[in-house]
C-alpha cells in the first residue's frame, strides 16, 4: 500500500501533465504548474521529479526528433505520457484525500 502513495509535488506534476493533454515536454508542464498552481517551480525539482516518477513507472516518455526546433541545438525532445499505474496512483491519492476531506470542509472554510 505504501508504495502507491505519491507526494504532493508528484501529484501536481502528474496533474499538470494531464492538463497539457497532448504529450507535453517538460517546460510546458512547468508553465502549466506555475500558471495554475501559482507557485514557482524550479527546473531542477521538476526534472528530478519527472525522473523519479518514471522510475516508479507512473509516467513514460518518448524521444522526438529535434530537427523542427533548431534552437535546441540538436538535442532531442522528450514528450511525457502518464501510464496506467500513474492514473491508478492519482486515483488512489484522490480517494484518500477526498475521504479525509469528508466532513471537514466546513471546518477549514470557516477558519
Partner 1 sequence: MSSHPLPPATAERILAWFLRGNPAGRCVLGDLRQEFVALSGARTPARARRWYWSQVFGIGLRYMGLPIVIRPYVTAHRRPGIAYGAAENVRLAVRTLRRRPVFTGAAVLTLALGIGANSAMFSVVKEVILSPLPFAAADRVVQVWDRAPDASPASARPMSYMNFADYRSGNEVFSRMVAFTGAAVYRVEDEVLESVRSRYISAEFFEMMGVRPFDGRLFRPDEDLQGVVNVIVVTYEYWQRELGGEDVVGQVLPLQRFVGVRGAPWVQSGYEIIGILPPGVDLPPGLSSTGYGSLAGTDIFLPFGLSFGGPAIRGIYRLRVLAELRDGVTPEQARANLQGIAAGIAEEDPESQAGLTVEVAPVVEQPRRAYGAALGFLWAATALVLFVACASVSSLLLGWGVVREHELAVRGALGAGTRRIFGQLATEALVLAGFAGVLSLGLAYWGTALIKALAPPGMHRLDEIGVDAGVLGFTLVVSLVTVLLVGLWPALRGARRRSSEALKEAGARGGTMARTRSLRVLISAEVALSLVLLTGAGLMLQTFWNLTGVETGVARDALLRVDIQRLGPALSKHRGDEALIALFQLLRDRVEAVPGVTSFAMADIGPLTGRETTGGDITLTDRSSADNAHAMADWNFVSPGFFKTLGVRFLAGRTFDEDQWVATRSAPPPAASDPPDYSAVANPLEVVISDAMARKFWPDQNPLDQIFHWGRQDPDILRETLGVVRWAREWDPRYPPPSPLKVVGVVTDVRDRLEGESGPTYYTLNVSWGTRLFVRTSVEPAGMAEVLRREVEAVDSEITVLRVRTIDEIVSELSADSRFRALMVVSYAVMATLITCLGLFGVLTFAMAQRTREIGVRVTLGATRRDIARLVLGQGARLAGVGIGVGLLLVVWMTRYVSSLLYGVVALDPLTLAAVTALIFGLALFAAYLPARMAMRVDPIEALRKG
- One of 61, 83, 85, 92 touching partner 1 (CB under 8 A): 61
- Pick between residue 43 and residue 94 the one whose CB is nearest to partner 1: 43
Contact at 8 Å (CB) between 64 and 78?
yes
Q: What are phi and psi of 104, to 5 degrees?
A: -105, -5
What's the min distance (Å) between Cβ of 67 and partner 1? 10
Q: How far is CA 22 from CA 10, 81, 82, 99, in A?
A: 19, 9, 11, 31
Q: Choose which of 37, 69, 96, 97 interacts with partner 1 (CB under 8 A).
A: 69
From the centroid of its chain, how far is CA 98?
Answer: 19
Quote the least distance from Cβ 46 to partner 1, whole Å. 9
Decide if residue 66 touches partner 1 (CB under 8 A).
yes
19-58 positions binding partner 1, by CB under 8 A: 25-27, 42-45, 47-48, 51
Residue 80 in contact with residue 25, Cβ under 8 Å?
Answer: yes
Give the Cα separation of 102 and 77 in Å (integer): 42
Which residue ranges make up the site for partner 1 (CB under 8 A)? 25-27, 42-45, 47-48, 51, 61, 63, 66, 69-78
Amino acid at each position: 500500500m505504501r508504495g502507491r502513495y505519491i507526494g504532493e509535488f508528484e501529484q501536481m506534476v502528474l496533474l499538470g501533465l494531464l492538463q497539457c493533454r497532448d504529450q507535453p515536454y517538460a517546460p510546458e508542464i512547468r508553465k502549466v504548474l506555475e500558471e495554475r498552481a501559482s507557485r514557482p517551480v524550479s527546473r531542477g525539482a521538476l526534472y528530478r521529479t519527472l525522473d523519479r516518477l518514471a522510475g516508479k513507472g507512473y509516467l513514460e516518455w518518448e524521444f522526438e526528433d529535434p530537427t523542427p526546433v533548431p534552437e535546441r541545438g540538436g538535442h532531442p525532445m522528450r514528450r511525457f505520457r502518464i501510464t496506467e499505474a500513474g492514473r491508478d496512483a492519482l486515483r488512489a491519492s484522490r480517494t484518500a484525500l477526498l475521504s479525509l476531506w469528508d466532513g471537514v470542509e466546513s471546518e477549514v472554510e470557516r477558519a
